[in-house]
Amino acid sequence: MSEPLLTLAGVHTHIGQYHILQGVDFAVPAGAMTVLLGRNGAGKTTTLRTIMGLWKPSRGQVTFAGQPIGGWPAHAIARAGIAYVPETMAVFSDLTVAENMLLAARDGPLEAARLDWVFSFFPALKRFWTQPAGTLSGGQKQMLSIARAVIEPRQLILIDEPTKGIAPVIIENMIGAFRELKRERTTILLVEQNFRFAEALGDWAVVMDDGRIVHRASMAELAGDSATQHRLLGLSLEAHA
């Protein structure tokens, strides 16, 4: 197993007076996709936001590529090589698709070859290139959000529930896109509730509950173990597909 790219050790996060993360410990191996599973309210989104620096950890260490990034401002963490695809997608509605992508390409101009590669698995973006992002459908916005994160090579991509509310056909599209990314050896940390999606792409599974990690296993192990699934997530993940 390769050296973990990202490590969280004893991370606590408070939001106001709420103690959301209560000692999160896990590692994300490089070059693979780790899926963060758990019920609603377990703290998965908070974990991603803490890694991204949008919320400061009150205790504990976040280490990325050997550097301690806990407490860094979000822009520094982004520049260290982490990209973020939030649950809300956060596309800039008043800006066109092109402008959204231009913003995302901060290290230089938009590279034509890379852009074509993105278009290859997200063709809609090419068609809507000059349209305001606000006029896109939900699935297309999700594509844009992901495209923004990959238009330049990044070491780690944090993705929060990309398939939520998206039509199954688009999800197939996304699976293709992620397979492309994996081929590139991009490390991905994915929060997902759609187990079929997670199972198709994930290499490692980390399960959260009540602000803590309660189980770590390879995806293959977890997928075959219905008893553990039931115990941790209160249902069979198969049924959730």
Binding site for other proteins (CB under 8 A): 52, 54, 73-75, 78-79, 84, 86, 88, 90, 92-95, 99-100, 102-104, 106, 123-124, 127-128, 131-132, 134-140, 148, 165-170
CA-CA-CA-CA dihedral for 91, 93, 94, 99, to nearest 10: 40
Instruction: Quote the least distance from Cβ 166 to other proteins, whole Å.
Output: 6
Output phi, psi for 201, to 5 deg.
-115, -25
The amino acid at residue 171 is I
Nearer to other proteins, 89 or 205 (CB): 89
**Cα–Cα distances in angstroms (integers) from residue 218 to residues 6, 198, 203, in the given order:** 17, 12, 6
Nearer to other proteins, 100 or 229 (CB): 100
Whole-angstrom Cα distance, residue 128 to residue 209?
Answer: 40
Nearer to other proteins, 80 or 200 (CB): 80
Instruction: Quote the least distance from Cβ 54 to other proteins, whole Å.
Output: 6
Angle subtended at Cα 8 by Cα 50 and Cα 158, rounded to the nearest 5 degrees: 50
Nearer to other proteins, 34 or 145 (CB): 145
Instruction: Quote the least distance from Cβ 138 to other proteins, whole Å.
Output: 5
Residues whose CB is less than 8 angstroms from the CB of residue 220 and which lie 6 or more positions away in sequence, other chains included: none
Instruction: Quote the least distance from Cβ 202 to other proteins, whole Å.
Output: 23
- What does DSSP assign to residue 96? B
Residue recorded with tokens 């809300």: 88
Instruction: Quote the least distance from Cβ 60 to other proteins, whole Å.
Output: 21
SS3 assignment, position 185: coil
Nearer to other proteins, 45 or 100 (CB): 100
Neighbours of 170 (CB within 10 A): 19
SS3 assignment, position 204: strand
Nearer to other proteins, 30 or 74 (CB): 74
Instruction: Quote the least distance from Cβ 117 to other proteins, whole Å.
Output: 18
Nearer to other proteins, 78 or 217 (CB): 78
Instruction: Quote the least distance from Cβ 216 to other proteins, whole Å.
Output: 27
Whole-angstrom Cα distance, residue 103 to residue 62?
Answer: 27
